Amino acid sequence: MTDRTVARELARRSLGRGDPSGWFDELYARAEREPEIVPWANGVPNPLLVDWTPRRFESRPRSAALVVGCGYGDDAEWLASRGYAVTAFDVSSTAITAARRRFPRSSVDYRVADVLDPPASWTGAFDLVVESFTLQVLPPPVRARAADRIAGFAKRCLLLISRARDPGAPPGPLPWPLTRPEVEAIAGRTPGLAIVSFEDFVDHETPPVRRFRVEFARR
Ligand SMILES: C[S@@+](CC[C@H](N)C(=O)[O-])C[C@H]1O[C@@H](n2cnc3c(N)ncnc32)[C@H](O)[C@@H]1O
């Protein structure tokens, strides 16, 4: 069973200071000594990305991909292994240092960056943008701003993977599942972006988790 005790406590204090992203580097720094405290780090690429990649979007030679909130880099490395020219970023410098350490011969361009204040050159620059599990750890007002930035990075395709809940259901403790209207609003606010596939399902984890896997395309 994943223990989210430390993550939730650091998040509570960080949000109390009005800093929605500050706790991530605190968590990763502490995880240098206690690796088990990062709830999402399991050392393998997200199976919902692995399953999607060949089915939906085979890379053309050196298509550019961006991985949002890449953490320790497993999803970025997966896309690089499929032939993408991958940029991967995280707000935590400790996570980025750890990703570079884990994959010393990687072709991935790992960067420290804040999704709320990204390099201007990233706008519309990536054939594929992958966002998995980052929006769900940002509180709602910040989440909408981050989602708009993420949508803006995509030249052709955006893949979003998250926990899911009904609109009326309480979000519960962190991570806070997204709602369908919340996801649909991303396309609504982004000119030229449309949802081409919306999967709403219960996964095979123990216990099972309701997820969204949503593919957006830029027309
Ligand atoms: C729940 S983790 C998910 C990590 C990875 N995407 C995965 O699926 O395992 C969220 C990640 O987003 C990063 N993050 C949080 N706020 C961010 C921000 N403002 N800009 C960039 N990355 C951020 C965190 O440091 C963390 O690595």
pLDDT tens for 59-96 read 677 899 999 999 999 999 999 999 999 999 999 999 99
Q: Dihedral sign, CA of 45, 205, 132, 58?
A: positive
Q: Which of 2, 154, 25 is nearest to 11 (CA)?
A: 25
Question: If you measure from the C-alpha of residue 70 to the centroid of ligand 1, how many angstroms do you get, rounded to a whole number?
Answer: 6
Beta strands 85-90 and 109-112 are parallel
Query: Residue 82 contacts by C-beta under 8 Å, 6 or more apart in sequence?
Result: 53, 54, 58, 59
Question: If you measure from the C-alpha of residue 4 to the centroid of ligand 1, how many angstroms do you get, rounded to a whole number?
Answer: 15
Q: Report the nearest-CA residue for atom 4 of ligand 1.
A: 71
Using CA atoms, how far apart are residues 93 and 111, in angstroms rounded to an integer?
8
Cβ of residue 14 lying under 6 Å from some atom of ligand 1: no
Cβ of residue 137 lying under 6 Å from some atom of ligand 1: yes
Using CA atoms, how far apart are residues 10 and 8, in angstroms rounded to an integer?
6
Q: Give residue 185's identity as a one-letter amino acid code.
A: A
Query: Token pair for residue 190?
Result: 């982004």
Q: Which atom of ligand 1 is nearest to the CA of 40?
A: 9
Cβ of residue 71 lying under 6 Å from some atom of ligand 1: yes
Query: Residue 105 contacts by C-beta under 8 Å, 6 or more apart in sequence?
Result: none
pLDDT tens for 134-179 read 999 999 889 999 999 999 999 999 999 999 999 999 999 999 999 9
| Per-residue pLDDT at 2 | 79
Using CA atoms, how far apart are residues 97 and 85, in angstroms rounded to an integer?
19
Model-level pTM? Answer: 0.96
Cβ of residue 21 lying under 6 Å from some atom of ligand 1: yes
Query: Token pair for residue 3?
Result: 């223990």
Query: Residue 167 contacts by C-beta under 8 Å, 6 or more apart in sequence?
Result: 179, 180, 181
Cβ of residue 151 lying under 6 Å from some atom of ligand 1: no
Beta strand residue intervals within 62-178, DSSP E: 64-68, 85-90, 109-112, 126-132, 154-163
Task: Tell me: pLDDT of 56 over 70.
Answer: no
